Structure 1
């Protein structure tokens, strides 16, 4: 049983896992190089990071088949640190990032994914698909007819070959054949080697050469916290997407710890901080990767490619990789979400479109997701207020108020305003809470205001029907039954 579980987790189909990992490794090279350039560091730092993070997360991560490596979102955070303090501080910040992510795992922050709505996830995916597509434009615009032709032929091969055979990932066949054609005909087009020199030596263990002082900690901590947050957010979102693609579940808290361990190792071996990559993960899953072996092989084969086969890898035309990434963007985009705009609630559609707009505008996935989550929360709070009501029933000198719905910060003021404090000849008020629930301190404060205000007008107040949770909060937090309590000024 254990062996069967291990096989399913690591390599449901060894051949498919290795082939999928090979495609990912080839596609990682230009991306890791580009992200290194964005961060202002040598290309080898991004490549070493991609190797370390992919290999470690294969063992420690919580989501089989997900690819983690150096990413653009993380690279953008590092620019100022590298510019002002140098690359050694980047390595130190990367290690501290990993530590913070492990702490996040201990605190089970991975469970916070339950608060991210489907609209936000869809917006995140669509925005990322658009960003992946836009990132290919510099390799296409103005590059000449040869590049256009090769990219078009590459896309045709990627989509048509699976109709003939699925034995080998079509993306891998495309890269190999277009590279062979480019070399044979001697096309003068941009290649992987034009992006930067590939390293020829293995990464080695080294403690970052920074002073072990409080000042160093003050410098790197803000960057490490930001990197940890961005990395976890992107990784957990990507894990959710791979869960959906493969119809499986993953351990989000283990993923937090796995990302942390991977970043610590990357920092100790001369790499930059990284996280999960949705583009590469889609390539892996689309190519047949389902287990941890594909992730492990992607990292290991990446190192083999750059160190041993670097001179051949450098000749891969960018047009071939552009074709693969355009395919990724097309497959990643949730095309059904466009039709859903007509049938889904307007609030859900607005959240999805807002998430896309913020991500594409800022090129910051974290800001877009945060915007979407906040917007979802506001719409939810607004929706809940419509299920709140207070009905009054006058019975002689007694008025019974029946409260229905959820009382929290968004409905607290409406709750207070629903009571008539100046009814003549009313000597007693009963507040029936059997159909209500109090959620927070704002709700309890509103109840205090109501009770104390009635008492201020010499009206006796009884509260009845509280559920256990509400009664516990009232007992702990309410002040209207405390001795010596008086009505606050202005109430």
Structure 2
């Protein structure tokens, strides 16, 4: 979606450098439409965002819960509208897309650990989300070191280890368990994550 927006803006501003005989906005619409149809791109339309009725709109107060997540959702749209009202529409679109990308990254960056005891009495933590330097402190605090059984498995099947700081966080977790004479097994790392973990020095922990 963001690439389509960027491509549209590029056509709108660069096409006039070739010729002004045809409105660049019309060219952009035709090109992006043909591109999306030919490549069968899964793009959202206005109809996908809600039901379109033929009745006139009426004034009402939106029924939403005021929370940090709601404010983060509204921020990109509010910023885009503010920029459009005081400056240029293209700048407003770019600002809105940029903020939407940042909000998306912020949401997807959340790391979670779901812990449960398996049939053998071992504690299994199933990790989901991206693990990188910004998540280190939060990630280390997700584990119940003192109360967990003697055998612990950390399953990264739904996660990805992005950098050396993330590996250091895993190392710290393993060391904390080892200080309590508990065994930790790191499992289900994808190939990129496993390669990074092995490079930093945790090869002995990635048996499967």
| Structure 1 residue 457 corresponds to structure 2 residue 194 | no
Corresponding residue number in structure 2 for 1:433 = 156
Of structures 1 and 2, the one with the larger relative CO (CA 8 A, separation 6+) is 1
What SS does the aligned partner of 2:156 have? Answer: strand
Counterpart contact for 1:445–1:478, Cα < 8 Å: no
Cα deviation per residue 1:465-487 (whole Å; 9 max; x = unaligned)?
Answer: 212111011112356969xxxxx
Closer/same/farther in 2, CA of residues 414 and 289 from structure 1, 3 Å limit: closer
Corresponding residue number in structure 1 for 2:22 = 285
Query: For the residues of structure 2 that align with 1:433 and 1:442, how far apart are their CA atoms?
Result: 16
What SS does the aligned partner of 1:457 have? Answer: coil
| Structure 1 residue 240 corresponds to structure 2 residue 4 | no
The match for 1:378 among 102, 108, 113 is 102
Corresponding residue number in structure 2 for 1:297 = none
Supply the RMSD in Å over aligned alpha carbons. Answer: 4.7
Corresponding residue number in structure 2 for 1:401 = 125
Corresponding residue number in structure 2 for 1:48 = none
Closer/same/farther in 2, CA of residues 242 and 479 from structure 1, 3 Å limit: closer
Cα deviation per residue 1:103-123 (whole Å; 9 max; x = unaligned)?
Answer: xxxxxxxxxxx8x466xx4xx
Closer/same/farther in 2, CA of residues 281 and 418 from structure 1, 3 Å limit: farther
Query: For the residues of structure 2 that align with 1:282 and 1:395, how far apart are their CA atoms?
Result: 71
Q: TM-score, normalised by structure 1?
A: 0.27
| Structure 1 residue 469 corresponds to structure 2 residue 206 | no
What SS does the aligned partner of 1:285 have? Answer: coil
Query: For the residues of structure 2 that align with 1:396 and 1:417, how far apart are their CA atoms?
Result: 25
Query: For the residues of structure 2 that align with 1:386 and 1:281, how far apart are their CA atoms?
Result: 45
1:239-318 matches, cutoff 5 A: 239-241=7-9, 276=13, 284-286=21-23
**Which structure is higher in strand share?**
2
What SS does the aligned partner of 1:433 have? Answer: strand
The match for 2:139 among 399, 403, 415 is 415
Corresponding residue number in structure 2 for 1:390 = 114
| Structure 1 residue 357 corresponds to structure 2 residue 125 | no
Cα deviation per residue 1:195-236 (whole Å; 9 max; x = unaligned)?
Answer: xxxxxxxxxxxxxxxxxxxxxxxxxxxxxxxxxxxxxxxxxx
Counterpart contact for 1:451–1:480, Cα < 8 Å: no
Query: For the residues of structure 2 that align with 1:445 and 1:403, how far apart are their CA atoms?
Result: 16
| Structure 2: runs of 5+ lacking an equivalent | 28-44, 53-69
Counterpart contact for 1:416–1:450, Cα < 8 Å: yes
Query: For the residues of structure 2 that align with 1:341 and 1:440, how far apart are their CA atoms?
Result: 40
Query: For the residues of structure 1 that align with 2:125 and 2:175, how far apart are their CA atoms?
Result: 16
**Which structure is higher in helix share?**
1
What SS does the aligned partner of 2:116 have? Answer: strand
Q: Which has the larger radius of gyration?
A: 1
What SS does the aligned partner of 1:422 have? Answer: coil
| Structure 1: runs of 5+ lacking an equivalent | 1-113, 122-236, 246-275, 291-335, 483-491
